[in-house]
Amino acid sequence: LSGDPIRALAVLVVATPCPLILAAPVAFIGGVSRAARAGILMKGSAALEALAQIRTAIFDKTGTLTLGGAELIEIDVAPGQGTDEPLRLLASLEQASHHVLADSIVRIARHGNLLLSQPCDVREHRGEGLEGQVDGISVVAGSRPLVLGSGPLPNWAESGESRYRDTQVLRVFVAIDGRLAAVFTFGDAIREDAPGTVEALRSAGVTRIVLLTGDDGAAAEKVSASLDLDAVFA
Residues marked as catalytic: 60
HSE, side-chain direction, 13 A CA sphere, residue 35: 16
- Quote the distance between the C-alpha of residue 193 and its chain's center: 15
User: Nearest to residue 190, comparing CAs of 220, 215, 160?
Assistant: 220
What is residue 75's three-state secondary structure? Answer: strand
Cβ neighbours around 95 below 10 Å, total: 18
Q: Collapsing DSSP states into helix, strand and coil, what is residue 43? A: coil
